[in-house]
Amino acid sequence: METPLPLPPYEFDAALSTDDNYLAWACILARHSNSRKGHMGAIIVNPTTSQILSYANNTPLLFNASLIQKKIQEIHAEALCVSQAASIQLHSLCFMLLAAAGVKRIVHLNKYCPPVVAVSAKALGIEIRSVDFALDVNFNDRSRQFWASQGETAEMTRSRVDRWWDRWMQRIRTAADALGVKYDEDGGGRKKRKRDDGSQEKDGADEDVDEQEKEDAS
């Protein structure tokens, strides 16, 4: 994987709580994401020293026989943070990674916490704080104001993301061609296999994408 961009500088706002300051920082960080599905950021903080232990964005990562950018599977920001918290939305698989890594408190920008996560967290003694995105702090406005102060326009961000995708797609094509693996680049998809009863069988990679998209939508 490419070296991540530096963590954007952030000056804490005395009018905000510590949690809200870190959430505002995570929203600013989210703009570094190269995803075509939505930008996410996560930060892991030592609660005693306030030291930033890790930070990451959701990142397109897994080849799944489709070079349609929105279909390429990603590693979520929380998962990448653990492998190298403040997070936008708590994903159940990411929660398992955070729990396994020893994270004891999670703050996320979404008033809804899936029951499977809430119950598991309570059983494991992990504190979860769910912040309603619409209340108190306009995180999106703060993020836009920050990037404007840094001199990066939305067009500059789009251009940076486009350049990243050009490099990534070329690496994928080169690797697939070297291995003789076929891929779909026009959105038409590969021909589905047929079962004995004549019905069409889903391609395994497509099924993985569907499952991830269902989880993301929950």
pLDDT(68) > 50:
yes
Q: How many CB atoms lie within 10 A of CB 154?
A: 11
Give the pairing of strands 105-108 and 127-130.
parallel
- For the segment 7-22, the average pLDDT, to the nearest whole number, is 90
Q: Where in the chain are the domains? A: 1-218
Report how far residue 46's alpha carbon sits from residue 12's, in angstroms, rounded to the nearest whole number.
Answer: 16
Mean pLDDT across the chain, nearest whole number?
74
- Report for 50-59, 130-139, 192-201: range of highest mean pLDDT: 50-59
Q: What pLDDT score does 190 carry?
A: 46
Kindly report the pTM of this predicted structure.
Answer: 0.61
SS3 45: strand
Report how far residue 218's alpha carbon sits from residue 114's, in angstroms, rounded to the nearest whole number.
Answer: 8
Q: What is the pLDDT of residues 105-150, one digit of tens each?
A: 888 877 678 888 889 999 999 998 887 765 556 777 888 899 999 9
pLDDT(3) > 80:
no
Split at pLDDT 50, 70, 90, the class of 82 is low
* Torsion angle of the four alpha carbons 19, 23, 25, 31, in this order, in degrees rounded to the nearest 10: 170
Task: Name the token pair of 193.
Answer: 């296999």
- For the segment 172-189, the average pLDDT, to the nearest whole number, is 75
Report how far residue 1's alpha carbon sits from residue 56's, in angstroms, rounded to the nearest whole number.
Answer: 12
- For the segment 174-188, the average pLDDT, to the nearest whole number, is 76
pLDDT(216) > 60:
no
- Report for 57-61, 104-108, 158-162, 203-207: range of highest mean pLDDT: 158-162
pLDDT(78) > 80:
no
Class at the top of the CATH hierarchy for domain 1-218 = alpha beta
Q: What pLDDT score does 65 carry?
A: 54
- Position 116, amino acid: V
pLDDT(34) > 50:
yes
pLDDT(205) > 60:
no
Q: Which of 3-12, 17-26, 185-194 has the lowest mean pLDDT?
A: 185-194
Strands (E), 14-146: 41-45, 52-57, 59-62, 73-75, 86-87, 105-108, 127-130
Report how far residue 22's alpha carbon sits from residue 8's, in angstroms, rounded to the nearest whole number.
Answer: 12
Burial of 42 (0-12, 13-18, 19+ CB in 10 A): buried
Report how far residue 56's alpha carbon sits from residue 54's, in angstroms, rounded to the nearest whole number.
Answer: 7
Q: What pLDDT score does 89 carry?
A: 60
Split at pLDDT 50, 70, 90, the class of 45 is confident
Q: Which helix (H) or strand (E) holds 193?
A: strand 193-194
